[in-house]
């Protein structure tokens, strides 16, 4: 078994153990955060069974998408901050965008999504820790933005995403993640006929707390690929 295969199995085991510990029978999707990682490493991960990859930078992501376009079943998630002048490229090439916090960006993605492609899956990014320097809407703005996004036919609102303030304190981790879970329930109750099925939260250092709170998709980089050169 290669190093990549070993790392992926270890992370999948962590996810399984966390699900079992809190009695969850549903699945938790593993999103491999591949930003700054070379194409060769992503190719190894694909051969190890991974299909979902997350990129933070548009041009880097596009280069990888084009290089790996023949890899069956590969799914690309844009998880970084998105500027207006980059929306067309993202709308044309990615399957998911996790970082919607402005209606203007959602509108542009909707207008620029090619007609022959299915609706673009999106999540609203919530600044759950109220950090001044972090992207995301305030929790009390979530319903208003969701209502506007739901009017856009080329987008499919799947749920919410958050990057809480980093902390090693389990109580603080649980507070932030439970608040996100409450927001998703609020969204589901407001529009009960919509399939809001995604809570994108949890990374290498706090995935267990996120899964306990109800995360459906954990975004893992370091535990899979090692410490990045830019860290």
- For 146-205, write each residue's pLDDT tens digit: 999 999 999 999 999 999 988 888 888 999 999 999 999 999 999 999 999 999 999 999
pTM over 0.85: yes
- Judge contact between 201 and 215, C-beta under 8 A: yes
Residue 72 to residues 41, 51, 92, Cα–Cα distance (Å)? 16, 9, 18
User: Does residue 100 sit in helix, strand or coil?
Assistant: strand
- Judge contact between 176 and 164, C-beta under 8 A: yes
User: Does residue 164 sit in helix, strand or coil?
Assistant: coil
CATH of domain 3-225: 3.20.20.10
- Judge contact between 125 and 136, C-beta under 8 A: yes
Ordered by start, the domain boundaries in the chain are 3-225
> In what helix (H) or strand (E) does residue 208 lie, and over which residues does it extend?
helix 207-213
10 Å Cβ neighbour count for 191?
14
pLDDT band, residue 96 (cuts 50/70/90): very high
């Amino acid at each position: 078994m290669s190093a990549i295969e070993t790392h992926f199995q270890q992370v999948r085991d962590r996810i399984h153990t966390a699900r079992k510990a809190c009695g969850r029978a549903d699945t938790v999707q593993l999103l491999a955060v591949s930003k700054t990682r070379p194409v060769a490493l992503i190719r190894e991960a694909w051969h190890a069974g991974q299909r979902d990859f997350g990129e933070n930078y548009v041009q880097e992501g596009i280069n990888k998408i084009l290089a790996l376009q023949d890899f069956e079943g590969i799914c690309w998630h844009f998880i970084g901050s998105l500027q207006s002048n980059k929306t067309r490229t993202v709308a044309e090439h990615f399957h998911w965008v996790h970082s919607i916090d402005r209606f203007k960006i959602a509108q542009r993605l909707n207008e620029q999504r090619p007609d022959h492609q299915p609706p673009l899956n999106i999540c609203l990014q919530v600044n759950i820790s109220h950090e001044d320097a972090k992207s995301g809407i305030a929790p009390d703005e979530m319903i208003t933005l969701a209502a506007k996004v739901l009017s856009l036919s080329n987008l499919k609102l799947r749920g919410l995403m958050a990057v809480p303030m980093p902390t090693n304190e389990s109580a603080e981790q649980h507070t932030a993640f439970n608040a996100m879970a409450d927001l998703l329930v609020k969204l589901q109750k407001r529009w009960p006929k919509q399939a809001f099925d995604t809570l994108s939260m949890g990374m290498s250092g706090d995935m267990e707390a996120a899964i306990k709170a109800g995360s459906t998709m954990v975004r893992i980089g370091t535990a899979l690929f090692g410490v990045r050169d830019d860290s």
